[in-house]
Amino acid sequence: MSDSEQDQPPRPPRLVLAAIVFVVGLGADLWSKAWAWNNLKPPGKPVTVIDPLFELSYSFNTGAAFGFLNRFSWAREFFIVVTLLAMGYMLWLALKMPTAKRYGFVAVALVASGAAGNLHDRIVRANDAGQHGVVDFLKINYPWGGSWPTFNIADVLLLVGVGLLFFYLRAYEKTQAEREAEQDDEEDADTDVEQPSAPA
C-alpha cells in the first residue's frame, strides 16, 4: 500500500501512537493472564461478575482464538508461524499506509498487541501435561444455557483491531476510487480543451 504523502500528517507521530497502543494492549493482556494463572487456575474458583451472564473462569487453550484447532498436535507451531507473519505484515502496514487517518494505526497496533500476547503464552506457558497454550478466562454465559468459548483480552484486541482495519481498508479503497475517477474526469476535460475544432 502506498499513497502520496503530500498534505498528510508526518509518519513518526502516527508510529508513536501505534507503539503506545501496542504497549498498553500487550501489557493489559499479559497482566490479566498472569492474574488468571495465579488466581483462577485450579484449585482457584471462577469469579462471577454479572450473574449468570459473565464470569472469570480459567481455561487453557492449545489452539487459536475461541479454541479453534485446539485438538491438533501441530496447532502450536502453526499459530506461532502465522502470528509472526501477521505481526510482520502489521509492521509493514504501519510503515507504508497513508497517515491521514489515526485509527488505521490504532487498528494495526491492536492486532499486533493481541497477536503478541497470545504468542507469548504459546511460547512460555505450559499446563501440567507439558502442552503449551494460551490462558483464557473471560466467559460469557447464554441466558438459555451454554456459553461462548472462553477467551482473553488478546482475542478482544484482535477482534476490534481486525474490524477497525477492515473499515480502514474499505475507506481507503473508496477514497482511491474517487481520486482515480476525478483524475479521469480531469484528463477527459484536458483532452476536450486540447482537441482542435473541426474547420467550418
- DSSP 8-state assignment for residue 65: G
- DSSP 8-state assignment for residue 126: B
Positive or negative, the CA dihedral 129, 65, 49, 36 is positive
User: Is the bond preceding residue 52 a cis peptide, omega within 30 degrees?
Assistant: yes
155 part of the active site: yes
Q: Please tell me which residue in 3, 51, 136, 188 is annotated as part of the active site.
A: 136
Q: Please tell me which residue in 29, 128, 155, 184 is annotated as part of the active site.
A: 155
Residues 171 and 101 sit within 8 Å (Cβ to Cβ): yes
Residue 10 class from Cβ within 10 Å (0-12 exposed, 13-18 middle, 19+ buried)? Answer: exposed
Residues 141 and 52 sit within 8 Å (Cβ to Cβ): yes
136 part of the active site: yes
Residues 118 and 127 sit within 8 Å (Cβ to Cβ): no
CA triplet 91, 124, 80: central angle to 5 degrees? Answer: 45
Catalytic residues: 136, 155
